[in-house]
């Protein structure tokens, strides 16, 4: 059982390594540069010990006068070569690691934008942000650090060992007896490194999430006097992260001296052997100095090689977290139909949809809206109104049934073409960092200033935009905090006007506004609705009364439908709703 598990673990590790390698190997020149540079760098270490021996022997040599010039020159050349190799190696490595970061970020964002909305329902934004920032940099750090240390220190060790072998291979072999012991320490430490790294990433995600929430919700926190609650949550998460970091540090700090001690034992043994008379029988004092020098220089690269393990494990565990996003299936986009502009007929045919579990959010929804008509959805909160409109642009996929746009199933359009046909205006208006102009022209950054101005005018947004210090070019600030709800709403309407799509969805577009701003917005919305098939979900009656069809929903089902006058004449439920409030009462209560 245990064996099976470790086998699987190894397989997984190997898979992660090869997948990571895939990101690295697209930069062959940078890899070659760093490997080549570091090999040159590494070669100068045994060269230095050789030079030391050479110089010691030169003192007693016959052509002492010549060597007095040669030796310092050699010293300088070694340092120059070492410098060039080191520079070339680390420069190429910087190219490599930043290339990997860039590639991963771009790939992640591309992938993220094509994941189904469902994915975002189940992951916190903080965790995602932390994957983008912390985890990606951990991967690149690990990759570049690993290459640097493995190539540079690895070749240093190889070079030194080769030099030792060359001087006395038998002695050197005894030195290598400690290798298995070192390997054991390293492998035990790896296990812990990996465990703590994964925990650390998770707690970083949590920390980011709490920080995000606290910054975004700072007003609510103040108004509810929840500072203590927030800070205790943060303290907990940060403390968890701190402890994991410490555990990681303990493992690293403990494994390094153990390895160093093992190396020192081997070195001591080596010195004892090298000081024997047999060693000197055919060697010079210079050989002795060079041999011991080389053996002594082995300690540092070996130590670094064992330390790199923690970085690699951290990188592997970060790559697992990043790859988990890349492994999420993107939304199916196999439709082939491309349309410039649909007319806007929409038909629901027995549509069922489940968020998760077994309970339908909407059941057996069938209705038809013709191009240019307005359909209003009414019903209490949670009755499935938003769900229905979210199915049209395929934010979620129906579990059964079909939605047809101009008599073509929505899945048969390409996602891009489908979404080009639809403008969404909801209660929560999201403004992006940038100017008002950029926010209005979000769907089409090439739109001319005149067109944007025209859209803003028809959305009645110019009234307030003119008052702003830089007009259309005013920066909206983080998520548009500088603008009032009504102003944001008008920007959203201008955005939709500019997009000029044949289908319009207004999901409680005016619910967040007071009655007066709603009056203003209503005119802008009327402008927006002209000539479009419109779905409208609203609280207040005035907007709904004019709709061509009204669908009354309860518990995910259409319970009544018709025009306002029809429903008023025929439907008891609608009459009850009409005299009361569309939202707050359940149908059961109003009946
Ligand atoms: P309405 O817009 O009429 O208020 P919704 O369509 O938002 O209602 O919600 C219908 C039902 O689906 C509710 O029971 C709600 O809790 C559930 N629901 C809505 N959004 C999600 C979601 N993203 N994940 C899971 N359940 C959801
Ligand atoms: Mg809703």
On whether the CB atoms of residues 108 and 133 are closer than 8 A, the answer is no
Which pLDDT does position 76 carry in this prediction? Answer: 96
Which structure tokens are listed for 238? 């940060």
Contact 494, 455 (CB under 8 A): yes
> How many angstroms separate the CA atoms of 8 and 26, rounded?
28
Residue nearest to atom 5 of ligand 1 (CA): 384
Q: What phi and psi, each to the nearest 5 degrees, are found at residue 451?
A: -65, -40
Which protein residue has the closest C-alpha to ligand 1 atom 22?
A: 355
Correct CATH for 13-326 of 3.90.550.10, 3.90.1300.10, 1.20.1560.10, 3.90.650.10: 1.20.1560.10
Spatial contact of 166 and 197, defined as CB atoms under 8 Å apart: no
At 3, is the secondary structure helix, strand, or coil? helix
Is 337-415+544-591 a domain of CATH 3.40.50.300?
Answer: yes
Counting atoms of ligand 1 from 1, which one is nearest the CA of 507? 2
Q: Do 314 and 245 meet the contact criterion of CB atoms below 8 Å apart?
A: no
| pLDDT tens digits, one per residue of 198-256 | 888 888 888 888 888 888 888 888 888 888 888 999 999 999 999 998 998 888 888 77
Neighbours of 529 (CB within 10 A): 18
- What order of strands is seen across the sheet that includes strand 374-378? 422-426, 503-507, 533-537, 374-378, 549-554, 557-562
Outline which parts of the chain fall under CATH 1.20.1560.10: 13-326
Q: What is the pLDDT of residue 590?
A: 38
Alpha-carbon distance of 497 to 350, in angstroms, equals: 32
Q: Which atom of ligand 1 is nearest to the CA of 385?
A: 3
Residue nearest to atom 19 of ligand 1 (CA): 387
Compute, in angstroms, the gap from residue 332 CA to the centroid of ligand 1: 23
Ligand nearest to the CA of 381: 1
Ligand number nearest to the C-alpha of 511: 2
Nearest CA to ligand 1 atom 1: 382
CA of 217 to the centre of ligand 1 (A): 23
- Ramachandran area for residue 556 (φ above 0: left; ψ -120 to 50: alpha; else beta): left
Q: How many whole angstroms separate alpha carbon 178 and alpha carbon 267?
A: 10
Task: Give the number of the ligand closest to the Cα of residue 117.
Answer: 1
Tokens of 567: 């429903």
Cα angle: 446, vertex 451, 454; to 5 degrees: 155
* Spatial CB neighbours of 440, under 8 Å, sequence gap ≥ 6: 452, 455, 456, 461, 472, 491, 494, 495, 498
Q: Is 177 exposed, middle or buried (0-12, 13-18, 19+ CB in 10 A)?
A: exposed
CA 473 to ligand 1 centroid distance, Å:
38
Atom of ligand 1 nearest to the CA of 381: 4
Residues with CB under 6 A from ligand 1: 121, 355, 361, 379, 381-387
Q: How many residues are present in the chain?
A: 591
In contact, 459 and 524? CB cutoff 8 Å? yes
**The tokens of 451 are what?**
């067109």
Give the Å distance between the CA of 387 and the centre of ligand 1: 6
Would you say 231 and 290 are in contact if contact means Cβ atoms under 8 Å apart?
no
Residues 53, 287: contact at Cβ < 8 Å?
A: yes
User: What residues are paired with 388 via a beta bridge?
Assistant: none
> ∠ CA(184), CA(187), CA(193), 5° rounding?
145
Distance (angstroms) between ligand 1 centre and the Cα of 360 equals 10
Cβ distance 143 to 20 under 8 Å?
yes
Beta carbons of 373 and 548 less than 8 angstroms apart: yes
Q: Whole-model pTM?
A: 0.78
Distance 386 CA to ligand 2 centre (A): 4
pLDDT tens digits, 422-451: 999 988 888 888 899 999 998 888 889 999
Give the residue, by CA position, lying nearest to ligand 1 atom 8. 382
Strand segments, DSSP code E, in 370-490 are 374-378, 400-405, 408-409, 422-426
- Look at residue 431 in the predicted model and tell me its pLDDT: 87
Cα–Cα distance measured from residue 304 to residue 306, given in angstroms and rounded to the nearest whole number: 5
CA distance 546 to 565: 10
Signed CA dihedral, 230, 232, 235, 237: sign only: negative
Tokens at 417, concatenated:
């073409």
Q: State phi, psi for 419 to the nearest 5 degrees.
A: -75, -20
Please, where in the chain does CATH 3.40.50.300 lie? 337-415+544-591
Distance CA 91, CA 151 (A): 14
Rounded Cα distance, 68 and 539, in Å: 97
Rounded Cα–Cα distance for residues 7 and 5 (Å):
5
Q: What is the pLDDT along the chain (591 residues), one digit of tens a residue?
A: 456 667 887 788 888 888 988 988 899 999 999 999 999 999 999 999 999 999 999 888 888 888 889 999 999 999 999 999 999 999 999 999 999 999 999 999 999 999 999 999 988 888 888 888 889 988 888 888 888 899 999 999 999 999 988 988 887 887 777 778 877 877 788 788 878 888 888 888 888 888 888 888 888 888 888 888 889 999 999 999 999 989 988 888 887 788 778 878 888 888 888 888 877 777 888 888 898 888 888 878 887 887 787 788 888 888 988 999 999 999 999 999 999 999 999 999 999 999 988 889 999 999 999 999 999 998 888 899 999 999 999 999 999 999 999 999 999 999 999 999 999 998 888 888 889 999 999 888 888 999 999 999 988 889 889 988 888 899 987 766 778 888 888 899 999 999 999 999 999 887 777 777 777 788 888 888 889 999 999 876 677 888 999 999 989 999 989 988 888 888 777 777 777 655 444 444 433
Residue ID of nearest Cα to ligand 1 atom 14:
382
Are the C-beta atoms of residues 142 and 24 closer than 8 Å to each other? no
């Amino acid at each position: 059982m245990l064996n099976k598990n470790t086998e699987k673990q190894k397989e997984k590790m190997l898979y992660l390594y090869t997948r990571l390698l895939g990101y690295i190997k697209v930069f062959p020149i940078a890899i070659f540069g760093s490997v080549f540079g570091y090999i040159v760098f590494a070669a100068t270490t045994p060269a230095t010990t050789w030079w030391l021996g050479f110089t010691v022997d030169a003192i007693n040599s016959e052509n002492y006068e010549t060597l007095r010039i040669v030796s310092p020159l050699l010293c300088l050349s070694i340092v120059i070569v070492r410098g060039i190799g080191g520079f070339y190696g680390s420069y190429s490595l910087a190219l490599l690691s930043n290339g990997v970061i860039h590639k991963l970020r771009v790939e992640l964002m591309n992938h993220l934008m094509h994941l189904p909305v469902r994915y975002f329902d189940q992951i916190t934004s903080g965790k995602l942000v932390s994957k983008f920032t912390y985890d990606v940099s951990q991967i690149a750090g690990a990759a570049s650090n690993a290459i640097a240390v493995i190539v540079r220190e690895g070749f240093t060790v190889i070079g030194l060992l080769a030099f030792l072998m060359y001087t006395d291979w038998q002695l050197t072999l005894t030195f290598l007896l400690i290798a298995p012991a070192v390997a054991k320490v390293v492998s035990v430490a790896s296990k812990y490194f990996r465990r703590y790294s994964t925990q650390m990433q998770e707690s970083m995600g949590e920390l980011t999430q709490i920080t995000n929430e606290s910054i975004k919700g700072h007003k609510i926190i103040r108004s509810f006097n929840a500072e203590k609650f927030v800070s205790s949550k943060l303290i907990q998460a940060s403390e968890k992260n701190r402890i994991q970091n410490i555990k990681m540090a303990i493992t690293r700090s403990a494994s390094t001296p153990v390895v160093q001690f093992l190396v020192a034992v081997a070195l001591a043994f080596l010195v004892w052997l090298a000081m024997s008379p047999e060693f000197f029988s055919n060697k010079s004092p210079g050989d002795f100095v060079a041999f011991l020098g080389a053996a002594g220089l082995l300690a540092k690269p070996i130590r670094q090689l064992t330390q790199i393990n923690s970085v690699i494990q951290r990188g592997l565990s970060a790559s697992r977290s990043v790859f988990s996003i890349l492994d999420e299936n993107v939304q199916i986009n196999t439709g082939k139909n491309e349309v410039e502009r649909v007319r806007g007929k929409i038909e629901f045919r027995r549509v069922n949809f489940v968020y998760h579990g077994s309970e339908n959010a909407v059941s057996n929804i069938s209705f038809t809206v013709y191009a240019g008509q307005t359909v209003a959805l009414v019903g209490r909160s949670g009755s499935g109104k938003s769900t229905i409109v979210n199915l049209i642009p395929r934010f979620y996929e129906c579990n059964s049934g079909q939605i047809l746009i101009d008599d073509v199933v929505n899945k048969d359009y390409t996602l891009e073409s489908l979404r080009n046909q639809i403008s969404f205006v909801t209660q929560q208006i999201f403004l992006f960092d940038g100017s008002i102009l950029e926010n209005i022209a979000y769907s089409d950054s090439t739109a001319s200033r005149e067109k944007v101005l025209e859209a803003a005018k028809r959305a009645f947004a110019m009234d307030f935009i003119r008052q702003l210090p830089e007009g259309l070019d005013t920066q909206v600030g983080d998520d548009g905090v500088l603008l009032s709800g009504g102003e944001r709403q008008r920007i959203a309407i201008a955005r939709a006007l500019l997009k000029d799509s044949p289908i319009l969805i207004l999901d409680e577009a005016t619910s967040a506004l007071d009655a007066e701003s709603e009056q203003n917005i209503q005119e802008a919305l009327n402008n927006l609705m002209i000539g479009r098939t419109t779905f409208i979900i609203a609280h207040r009656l005035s907007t709904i009364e004019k709709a061509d069809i009204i669908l009354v929903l309860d518990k995910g089902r259409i319970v009544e439908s018709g025009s306002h006058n029809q429903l008023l004449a025929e439907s008891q439920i609608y009459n009850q709703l009409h005299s009361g409030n569309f939202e707050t009462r359940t149908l059961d209560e109003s009946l």
